[in-house]
Amino acid sequence: MAIDSNLFTAVSSSARQLLQLLRCISFTDKAHVRIAQEGLRITTEDGSVMEAFVFIEKSLFTNYTYNQFLPASSQDDPPDSPHFQVSLASLLETLNIFNLSDPNTVKRSDTSDPYAAHRLSRHAGIDAFTSHTAGICTLSYAGEGNPLSIHMTETGVTTTCDLTTYDPISNEEIPFARDAIALKTIMRSTSLLDAVNELSSLNPATITITATGSTSSSSVLSLSAAGSLGSATVDFSTSTPSDTPVLETYTCHRKTSASYTFSLLKAAQRAMATATKVSLRIDEEGVLNLQFLIDVEAVGGGNGHTFVEFRVVPLVEGEDGTVADESDED
């Protein structure tokens, strides 16, 4: 099929970059893909308790073409942006078909911490995206009912994979009240990762985020968890002698506390390891929003970074004293 006949075609000079971004949200089997003029929006979700988004702007591709079909009449509504589901595991396997790996990556020194090598590489000044950008990747989609075609080329070796697309499931997004924020802070992403790794050694079922009001001279953001091996709390304070404090910004009008299933927060670990900064927000209903800033190699005049966003539904105290998912409440 000629490229011009496709509804959508995009060419990337860095299959590794696409792979890294998609791995940040790879906690489920299928991904929801929506094509737009501005880029690709890819969503994954875990029931109705957590969802993640990554928007891959067209500037991250060397070529991006979306042949949007116009309505037959000016009085007709414009068609919805094409969207479909695809096997995320198959998509990742395809992008990794040439075993793309960074030869500069520091050998993992701690087998109990899968992200230790990443942190060592970052501290050594190694860019996760630009140090190795092997593989030319072409994505194409001819329209509803057709597969997502992926054409991979590296050093004269070419592979084409057609991934079956599925009808999208129209689940509503987890609501997040951006105009009713109880807590907002921006911090180094690796600091959040270290805290989650520290607490995970307890094998906890839940994690509680507590923030004191920002009116005091020294406000504290606490992450606490308890498990069969004990309990622990990691504190981040706005009062620090360092010129580069961990909490770069902090806004909390009154003491705020909310609990979440620990495994859901842990599912964002790869995003924590890849990002440079994270905006952690909790709205008045307790919904947690983690927006990760990830440096990328923009080839089409972009701003050199993109965002991966997670939303997590809080747990609420049941009448019997147990903790239940807020999504299960009527």
CB 166 within 8 Å of CB 85: yes
Most confident of 107-116, 120-129, 152-161, 219-228: 219-228
**Within 13 A of 141's CA, how many CA atoms are on the CB side?**
26
Tokens for 258, please give them. Answer: 């909310």
Which strand (E) or helix (H) includes residue 146? none
The string of pLDDT tens digits covering residues 286-321 is: 999 999 999 988 766 666 789 999 999 999 875 333
Q: Is the dihedral of CA 104, 110, 115, 121 positive or negative?
A: negative
Report residue 77's pLDDT band, with 50, 70 and 90 as the boundaries: low
7 vs 107, residue with greater confidence: 7
> What CATH number is given for 181-316 in this structure?
3.70.10.10
180 vs 241, residue with greater confidence: 180
The reported pLDDT for the residue numbered 161 is 94
CB 308 within 8 Å of CB 41: no
Alpha-carbon gap, residue 91 to 205, rounded angstroms = 31
The reported pLDDT for the residue numbered 218 is 75
The reported pLDDT for the residue numbered 78 is 57
Q: 3-state SS of 33-78?
A: EEEECCEEEEEEEECCCEEEEEEEEHHHCCEEEECCCCCCCCCCCC
Using left for φ > 0, alpha for ψ between -120 and 50, and beta otherwise, residue 249 falls in beta
Phi/psi for 181 (5° steps) reads: -95, 125
**Within 13 A of 63's CA, how many CA atoms are on the CB side?**
12
For the chain, what are the domain ranges? 7-70+79-100+135-166, 181-316
The string of pLDDT tens digits covering residues 181-215 is: 999 999 999 999 999 999 999 999 999 999 998 77
The string of pLDDT tens digits covering residues 81-133 is: 899 999 999 999 999 987 544 443 334 334 344 444 444 444 333 344 443 44
Most confident of 21-35, 71-85, 150-164: 21-35
The reported pLDDT for the residue numbered 101 is 42
- Mean pLDDT is lowest, of 3-12, 63-72, 173-182, for 63-72
CB 190 within 8 Å of CB 121: no
Specify burial of residue 17 (Cβ count, 10 A radius: 0-12, 13-18, 19+).
buried
> Domain spanning 7-70+79-100+135-166: which CATH class is it, in words?
alpha beta
The reported pLDDT for the residue numbered 15 is 86
Question: What mean pLDDT, rounded, does the chain reach?
Answer: 82
Report residue 69's pLDDT band, with 50, 70 and 90 as the boundaries: low
CB 88 within 8 Å of CB 31: yes
96 vs 169, residue with greater confidence: 96
**Same fold: 7-70+79-100+135-166 with 181-316:** yes
CB 233 within 8 Å of CB 223: yes
